[in-house]
A and B are shown apart, each in its own frame.
Chain A
Amino acid sequence: MYDKILVAVDGSAGADKALAAAVTLAESFGAELYSIAVEGHLPAYAATLGEVDEAKAEKDAYFEEIDRAARAYAAARGVELRTVKVVGDPAERIIRHAEQGGFDLLVLGHKGHSRARRFLLGSTSDKVVDHAPCSTLIVK
């Protein structure tokens, strides 16, 4: 049913659950499994390049570790996970990557935002569900 699955990882508890579900689905369907880690925004309106470079280096190191752990987890269950790291708005980059990569299932974790934040900003999963080019599974 699903041949190519993309899971979003960010080190949160919700994303860990999404990874576990995605690995299970990849095992069941014999699907290819990919992960995307969106590093989020760099400091906006920075005063020096150094501020941007160092924020980027910190995020790179953090997400490198997230990717390493995700690959190890999938490998322990006999599934190969291919990882990709991008920078920018999480919802926008996940949707764009899903479009470009021809995925047929997107798996995301649910984050328990406050009602106020959800009302004001919406959540990444809301935005992805609205605009994803393929089926989307939100794991709670």
Chain B
Amino acid sequence: MSSLQVAVAIAAIALLASIISVELSLSVAIVEIVLGVVAANLFHLHSVPWLDFVAAFGSIVLTFLAGAEVDVGLLRAELRGSLLVGGVSFAAPFCGALLYAYFVAGWSFHAAEICGIALSTTSLAVVYAVLVETGLNQRRIGKLIMSATFVTDFGTAGALSILFIKPNLWFVAFVAVSVLMIWLFPKASPWFFRRYGERVIEPEIKLVFFLLFCLMLLGKLSLGQAVLPAFVLGLAASRLYESHRLEQQRLRVVAFAFLTPAFFIKGGMNVSLAALGANLGLLGVLFAIKQSTKIAGIFPLARGYVGGDALYLTLLMSTGLTFGTISSQYGYQAGIIDKAQFSLLITVVIASAVIPTFIAQRWFQPGPEPDERQRQKSPAPRPAVSEPTASGPTVSGPTEREGA
């Protein structure tokens, strides 16, 4: 297929995925991956160089956005618990999956590392949607889950960048530029945003793209990965975006309209259904390893923080999606894992987005807090209702909000 034909196909898939996502209230990312699988396996759609490039940039933009979404204040408030739970949430499945893939499944050591990284993740976005829906984002358990997820994300981004370093002279420049960028961006960007921002030509987004492309170039020259610096750069930008929400929204618009569809569809296109069919046993084992190591590591710690809701916290910390996909894609693009291994990892990642979330919501959702339980036992107080005035009916105040 020509580049233009592939572009038409990708645009059609991205559009269809958006429609399905809206109709089913399902994440567009998962629909894009699934449609990518269908397009490649049933209709033999293959990637072209421009799609590989856009997908790679999409993954770096996603990583930057993930960093920018970190709530630093929340992380500080729950620092000890977050470090413990988030650290173990990364380390336990990373070690478990790496050891199994290397010693039992017979993968190469680097492939086993990719397996460990891809299965160590926790999806902040999956967790966040659940917490907002249930109102738990306002409670301690929700705050702890979210802040611990930031730590797990950091571990994943760090491992992906550090484990595959092959130091050369460019590596020094890569580290120096990354550190300079991360230090300078929060200092210089407020001035830049004031001087050049709020224009339809979007200098702010161009600045971010320029920095991310620089990181990608230096990462490539130094035979490294731009994931960690992109994540930390996003983290450094998170304060700035708190006061420039519109700018963050515009960046998301650009990412969601073009870059992330390319990334997720391309991810789906790399999946081989035949390879999956031939390795169903291993698929089940890898999924079980991710879940069992998360449970074994997190559950005992979580009991100390949230008592009876520890299993709910543990299950939500066992979800994964974006960073798992990014890690697997990196491994495949770099030739570290083959198509069958990639297919297995991406399928386990998607299953881990869906299954633990469903189980947690269905059977382990925390009950009301003690004071709320008390309120429910006693008769509900009747709110005072203002009398209609002589001049006409009264209208109540602003709408109350529950659970969000």
Minimal beta-carbon separation of A59 from chain B (angstroms): 10
Known: A32-B382, A49-B124, A54-B249. A43 touches B28 (CB 8 A): yes
Taken residue by residue from 23 to 66, chain A's Cβ proximity to chain B (1 for < 8 Å, 0 otherwise) reads as: 00000000010000100111111111111101010000001100
Which of A13-21, A69-77, A124-132 contacts the other chain?
Answer: A69-77
Asked if A49 and B69 sit within 8 Å, CB to CB, the answer is yes
What CA separation (Å) do A64 and B404 show in the bound complex? 14
Separation of A52 and B379 alpha carbons in the complex (Å): 35
Assess whether B249 is in contact with A45, with CB atoms less than 8 Å apart.
no
> Which residues of B, 353-381, contact A by the 8 Å Cβ criterion?
353-354, 357, 375-376, 379-380
Residues of chain B within 8 A of A40, CB atoms compared:
25
Total interface residues on B, CB under 8 Å, equals 52
Given contacts A43-B21, A97-B402, contact A51 B125 (CB under 8 A): yes
**Cβ contacts under 8 Å, A97 to chain B:** 402
Give A88's nearest chain B residue, CB to CB: B133
Q: Does A78 contact B (CB under 8 A)?
A: yes
B175 adjacent to chain A (CB < 8 Å) = no
Distance (whole angstroms) from the CB of A100 to the closest CB of chain B: 6
Q: Which of A51, A74, A75 has the most CB of B within 10 A?
A: A51
Interchain nearest-CB distance for A20 vs B (Å): 15
**Is A84 in contact with B400, judged by CB distance below 8 angstroms?**
yes
A86–B399 CA distance with the chains assembled, in angstroms: 10
Task: Please choose the segment from B46-54, B101-109, B390-398 that sits at the chain A interface, where 4 or more of its residues have CB less than 8 A away.
Answer: B390-398
- Does residue A79 face the partner (Cβ distance < 8 Å to B)? yes
Across the interface, name the chain B residue whose C-beta is closest to A40: B25
Q: Tell which of A46, A67, A80, A86 touches B394, judged by Cβ atoms closer than 8 Å.
A: A80
Given A52-B128, A84-B402, A88-B134, A44:B386 Cβ within 8 A = no
Shortest Cβ distance from residue A125 to the other chain B in the assembled complex, whole angstroms: 20
Q: Is A136 an interface residue (CB 8 A)?
A: no
Say whether B339 faces chain A, with CB atoms less than 8 Å apart.
no
Counting chain B CB atoms within 10 Å of each CB, the highest count among A40, A45, A75 belongs to A45
B302-324 interface mask toward A, CB cutoff 8 Å, 1 = contact, 0 = none? 00000000000000000001100
- A35-B17 Cα distance, complex, nearest whole Å: 34
Asked if A83 meets B379 with Cβ closer than 8 Å, knowing A46-B129, A75-B392, the reply is no
Contact of B65 with A48 in the complex, beta carbons under 8 Å: yes
A81 — nearest CB in chain B belongs to which residue?
A: B396
Q: Chain A interface (Cβ within 8 Å of chain B)?
A: 4, 32, 37, 40-52, 54, 56, 63-64, 67, 71-72, 74-88, 93, 97, 99-102
Q: 23 A-B Cβ contacts within 8 A?
A: A32-B382, A32-B383, A44-B27, A47-B29, A47-B123, A47-B321, A48-B62, A52-B129, A67-B399, A75-B392, A75-B393, A77-B393, A78-B388, A82-B383, A82-B400, A83-B400, A84-B401, A85-B402, A86-B403, A88-B133, A88-B134, A100-B376, A102-B382
Chain B residues packing against A (C-beta within 8 Å): 21, 25-30, 62, 65-66, 69, 123-126, 128-129, 132-135, 248-249, 252, 256, 260, 264, 321-322, 353-354, 357, 375-376, 379-380, 382-383, 385-386, 388, 392-396, 399-404
Which 8 pairs, one residue from A and one from B, show the smallest C-beta to C-beta distance? A47-B29, A102-B380, A75-B393, A46-B125, A50-B252, A49-B69, A45-B353, A45-B27
* Extra contacts besides A42-B25, A51-B125 (15): CB < 8 Å: A37-B399, A40-B25, A41-B25, A45-B26, A45-B123, A46-B125, A47-B125, A49-B125, A54-B249, A63-B399, A72-B395, A80-B385, A82-B383, A85-B400, A88-B133
